[in-house]
Amino acid sequence: MTEMQPGRSCLAILLAAGEGTRMKSARPKVLHEVGGRSLLGHVLTSLAQAGADAVVVVAGPERPEVAREAQAVLPGVEIALQTERLGTAHAALAARAALAKGYDDVIVTFADTPLLRPETFGALRAELAKGSAVVALGFEARDPNGYGRLVTRDGVLEAVVEHKDATPEQREITLCNAGMMALDGHQALSLLEAIGNDNAQSEFYLTDAVALARSRNLTTSALVAPESEVQGINDRIQLASAEAEFQRRKRLDVMAEGATLIAPETVFFSHDTRIGRDVLIEPHVVFGSGVSVADGAVIHAFSHLEGAAIGQGALVGPYARLRPGASLGAKAKVGNFVEIKAAEIGAGAKVNHLTYVGDATVGADANIGAGTITCNYDGFFKYRTNIGAGAFVGSNSSLVAPITIGAGAFVASGSVVTEDVAPDALAVGRGRQVAKEGWAKGFREASLARKAAAKKP
């Protein structure tokens, strides 16, 4: 992404204090996830992409996990504690020390709106660059109840009025305040400090910055975003609706980049899923975090992938499960009811049916027969299995790790392999077959006779 507003410095203040009781959760609200990333993480990433030079997360002192997640997502982020929740302007002032440094642009935004795009933060900054001192972000609300209203006259933003303070006429306004705001960094501290709490909720309202700026003859303006982008999350129902919007966007992105999704609405991505060109994804596929799929690969229906790297032209599924550390070489094939964990499957290798390969390396062009199991765990420790290039493992074999099957070696089907197999050797690890001529016929006749005798009165 190109840098937004080059030459202007930017401070972002992310308000994240508050308990989010409607989630009914042991977890802080902003650590709930959309697309496998915390709400907080989404906003932090967007702010970084919008060119924020410094980010201060305002958190409540009772939730240290919020600060930990913020540091993990964006190392170097500052944490400011708001000990009493006295309103959004009061929360922003917890970042007083950073505000005093005099950045060109200041963005104040909420940690529970994960769908805000970096471009929208960039657009707010562009308004500042054009001369606005305060820029509010509005949206046309389907149900304006509860939101602050943008009061405009002749297209000019005059004030933001909270629902509880609004007159009946103001409550008719459907253009609502999304909450986030951009302020001229050289005015921000003075504006925020001048905000009082003489209102219906006795709170220090960030939104009062608009009317205050106008009283000082500063320019104010509003931008409008789609409601789907600014939706905040307060409960599990809104969380699911944000997830739906996130998935809708991600599917469009993946298709725009050249992948085919036969039934996009049935495929679920993670925030970090990377899909190449000419990839075909059949219906009902779930991507957990950390998956990359190279060009030309096919992910057949009902597969579940997590922490896996899929090579060019590889085939996966249907009904495959790829767990963290699974890595498939070019044109490798992992078929139905196969589970792969922490294993490299070499280029052109085939693991086609009903198999578990864990903690293993499978060489190029090896063939792993149906029902093969790498016995990698003894209840205490895990061990590795190495299978050389071009090896052939017969169906229903158990490979007891640690073990090495040499390149080009052959394992007879049904073997329990406990000792290393040399390259190009044959290993047979099963009971020898015994055939008894006529035994079955004799058994059948004797059994029928016993049954008939038992039935007689």
Catalytic residues: 353
The residue ranges that bind ligand UD1 (CB under 6 A) are 15-18, 58, 82, 85-88, 90-91, 110-112, 147-148, 160, 162, 176-179, 205-207, 232
Cβ closer to ligand UD1: 114 or 148? 148
Which is closer to ligand UD1, CB of 152 or CB of 289? 152
Judged by beta carbon, residue 4 or residue 91, the one nearer ligand UD1 is: 91
Least CB distance from residue 67 to ligand UD1, whole Å? 13
Nearer to ligand UD1, 93 or 133 (CB): 93
Least Å distance, CB 131 to ligand UD1, is 24
Nearer to ligand UD1, 86 or 364 (CB): 86
Query: Could you write out the three-class secondary structure of the chain?
Result: CCCCCCCCCEEEEEECCCCCHHHCCCCCHHHCEECCEEHHHHHHHHHHHCCCCEEEEEECCCCHHHHHHHHHHCCCCEEEECCCCCCHHHHHHHHHHHHCCCCCEEEEEECCCCCCCHHHHHHHHHHHHCCCCEEEEEEECCCCCCCCEEEEECCEEEEEECHHHCCHHHHCCCEEEEEEEEEECCCHHHHHHHCCCCCCCCCCCCCHHHHHHHHCCCCEEEEECCHHHHCCCCCHHHHHHHHHHHHHHHHHHHHHCCCEECCHHHCECCCCCEECCCCEECCCCEECCCCEECCCCEECCCCEECCCEECCCCEECCCEEECCCEEECCCCEEEECEEEEEEEECCCCEEEECCEEEEEEECCCCEECCCCEEECECCCCECCEEECCCCEECCCCEEECCEEECCCCEECCCCEECCCECCCCEECCCCCCCCCCCHHHHHHHHHHHHHHHHHCC
CB of 70 to ligand UD1, least distance (A): 13
Select 81 or 422, whichever has its Cβ closest to ligand UD1: 81
Would you say 173 or 254 has its CB closer to ligand UD1?
173
User: Minimal CA–CA distance to 430: which of 396, 387, 404?
Assistant: 396
CB of 385 to ligand UD1, least distance (A): 50
Minimum distance of ligand UD1 from residue 111's CB (angstroms) = 6
Whole-angstrom distance, CA of residue 322 vs CA of residue 358: 10
What is the number of the residue whose Cβ is closest to ligand UD1? 148
